[in-house]
Amino acid sequence: MKKIITAFLIIICCLAITACGSRVKSEQEIISAIMDSEGLYGEVESFEILKRDTDRKAKNDCVWCWIVVKNDAVRYERGYRVESNYYSDGGWIFDSVSPYLESKWQLNLVRGINEAEIEDVLNGFLIMVDKNVWELNGATDVRILDQETSLSNNTDIVRIHGTVFEDIQKATGEFVISLVYKRNLWTGEEGWVIDRVDVIEPLTVEYLEGYDPNIQENDIIQFISGETLLYSYFYMDQTLNIEADKMKDFTLTDQVVTNQGARIIQGCHFIHQTDMVDFGVNGEIQYEYNGSTWDISPQGFKAEVRNIDIAGEWLGTYDSAAGTMTMLLSIEHGEAESINITMYPDVKGEGDLGENYQFEVTVNDSLLEVNVYFKDYISIADNCTLSSLEMTIMAEDNVLEAKLKFFSPSIKTESFILSKR
């Protein structure tokens, strides 16, 4: 029985010695492990094992080596530590590939960047287009116009013509791109990295199909028709209702594009005509892309008086100490925007007030006010004296809102409406 046990132990030891003495990984297998682990490709120009420590008892094999690999783009010179261990199930297996002598690594360009690589590396880069920051979603139709490659410095400067994209726009034109080929110390990945992109103005900027807001004059006219504008800064009831058939000389003015093309401020100007007043209107329309459609809203429309025409005869009645009286104003434009006024009749039967009294007339365009100052108090009846007349032009209603100030028998103001006769 002892002989059987002894023979069995001898057999086990022989098998163990045979296994541990099996062949460790060859140079070609080590090269393949490095190439696969590090993502290298190309021709292996040289491979050298600098040192090797094989411990068969511990079933461990460590190799320190230097490899030179060249492909169509770059040439690598690198050192690695490759470790393998022996397992009863599988034999010698690679466990790790790690950098060695990393400070002496060399990376040298074989050629400059090509057009396909440019299209790829532009993806995600930030550039300025029409004063907007674009985060590029890629590029197409890239054509290299000029190239300055430094193989010794791993840099390239290319002038290209192509089309770049962001979310809803594209820009076509020329760009100058400065790049360096290097290894990312955090990820270990290698490749072209953009240092800067200079845009050669002007670029042709267009919206991608399905995203164009298609700004048209007629559409804006219909959109703002019905808007109500304030045109007097002090009289809140002085408003102007925009009507399409009263607009003329409509023009689009400045356009400002922001938010990577997703916001457009389009300026416009037009003349809005009423029977008595022509207004110059300036404003902006905002177009904002919400992810599926364009939201449109008016921004800051303001009206300014351009021309006043209140010539004609105006009739109204007012209450005085002498009773209800009728006022008839004859207004005609004079030179230098002045207004001549004849005011009659004189209730005392002495003829037109315009013949007997002098008026000083001033017009405030911004407030649409006509002020008539009597240089002398006007007595229209016994113990009933006028001092001044103020009129506000109500452009929407085609009337004059008058305020007649009395000096006697008491100081008061009478408001009434003058309508065109």
CATH code at position 84: 3.10.450
Distance CA 78, CA 377 (A): 108
Work out the pLDDT band at 297, boundaries 50, 70, 90: very high
279 and 319 both lie in a single domain:
no
- pLDDT value of residue 209: 92
55 or 383, greater pLDDT: 55
Last residue of a domain, one of 76, 91, 108: 108
349 and 325 both lie in a single domain:
yes
- Are residues 145 and 177 in contact, defined by beta-carbon separation less than 8 angstroms? no
- pLDDT value of residue 219: 92
Work out the pLDDT band at 137, boundaries 50, 70, 90: very high
- Are residues 287 and 294 in contact, defined by beta-carbon separation less than 8 angstroms? yes
* Of the candidates 223, 230, 265, the residue with the CA atom closest to the CA atom of residue 247: 223
Residue-averaged pLDDT of the chain: 86
Residue 393 lies in a domain: yes
Tell me what the mean pLDDT of segment 45-58 comes to.
95
379 and 400 both lie in a single domain:
yes
**Of 59-68, 165-174, 306-315, 359-368, minimum mean pLDDT range:** 359-368
Q: With a cut of 60, say whether residue 151 has pLDDT above it.
A: yes
* Of the candidates 390, 394, 393, the residue with the CA atom closest to the CA atom of residue 415: 390
| Longest CA–CA separation in the chain, Å | 162
List pLDDT tens digits, range 228-284.
887 765 555 678 899 999 999 999 999 999 998 999 999 999 999 998 899 999 999
* Of the candidates 229, 232, 241, 234, the residue with the CA atom closest to the CA atom of residue 396: 241
Last residue of a domain, one of 158, 184, 207: 207
- Are residues 375 and 354 in contact, defined by beta-carbon separation less than 8 angstroms? no
Residue 10 lies in a domain: no
Contacts of 109 (CB under 8 A, 6+ apart): 73, 74, 75, 149, 150, 151, 154, 156, 181
- pLDDT value of residue 145: 97
Look up the CATH number of the domain holding residue 341. 2.40.128.120
Residue 342 lies in a domain: yes
Residue 223 lies in a domain: yes
Distance CA 251, CA 266 (A): 11
302 and 319 both lie in a single domain:
no
Tell me what the mean pLDDT of segment 23-28 comes to.
94
Last residue of a domain, one of 53, 76, 108: 108
Work out the pLDDT band at 394, boundaries 50, 70, 90: confident
304 and 381 both lie in a single domain:
no
Give the number of other Cβ atoms within 10 Å of residue 411's Cβ.
Answer: 9
> What tokens were used for 18?
């045979």
| Cα angle value 150/156/162 (rounded, 5°) | 150
DSSP H helices, 209-357, are: 217-224, 353-356
Tell me what the mean pLDDT of segment 220-225 comes to.
93
- pLDDT value of residue 5: 47
Q: With a cut of 70, say whether residue 100 has pLDDT above it.
A: yes
* Of the candidates 397, 407, 405, 403, the residue with the CA atom closest to the CA atom of residue 415: 403
Residue 183 lies in a domain: yes
Count of structural domains within the chain: 4
Distance CA 231, CA 400 (A): 16
- pLDDT value of residue 14: 44
Q: Both ends of the chain: CA-CA distance in Å?
A: 144
Q: With a cut of 80, say whether residue 412 has pLDDT above it.
A: yes
93 and 165 both lie in a single domain:
no
Distances (CA, A) of 271 to 227, 291, 336, 397: 15, 35, 22, 18
- Are residues 132 and 259 in contact, defined by beta-carbon separation less than 8 angstroms? yes
How many residues are there in the chain? 421
- The range of the structural domain enclosing residue 399 comes to 312-420
This model's pTM is above 0.75? no
Residue 6 lies in a domain: no
- pLDDT value of residue 9: 45
Tell me what the mean pLDDT of segment 220-229 comes to.
90
Q: With a cut of 60, say whether residue 21 has pLDDT above it.
A: no
Q: With a cut of 70, say whether residue 339 has pLDDT above it.
A: no
- pLDDT value of residue 358: 67
Residue 271 lies in a domain: yes
List pLDDT tens digits, range 317-335.
888 887 788 888 888 765 4
381 and 285 both lie in a single domain:
no
Distance CA 115, CA 239 (A): 61
369 and 400 both lie in a single domain:
yes
Phi, psi at 335, each rounded to 5°: -75, 160
DSSP H helices, 225-273, are: none
What are the residues facing 324 on neighbouring strands? 319
Distance CA 98, CA 90 (A): 22
Tell me what the mean pLDDT of segment 384-398 comes to.
85
Q: Is 76 left (phi over 0), alpha (psi -120 to 50) or beta?
A: beta
- pLDDT value of residue 345: 52
Distance CA 51, CA 80 (A): 11
Q: Residue 260 gets which letter from DSSP?
A: T
- Are residues 279 and 304 in contact, defined by beta-carbon separation less than 8 angstroms? yes
348 or 176, greater pLDDT: 176
Residue that has been written with the tokens 């290097």 in this structure? 182
Q: With a cut of 70, say whether residue 52 has pLDDT above it.
A: yes
> What tokens were used for 288?
């904002």
Residue 273 lies in a domain: yes
- Are residues 159 and 139 in contact, defined by beta-carbon separation less than 8 angstroms? no
What are the residues facing 158 on neighbouring strands? 147, 177
133 and 200 both lie in a single domain:
yes
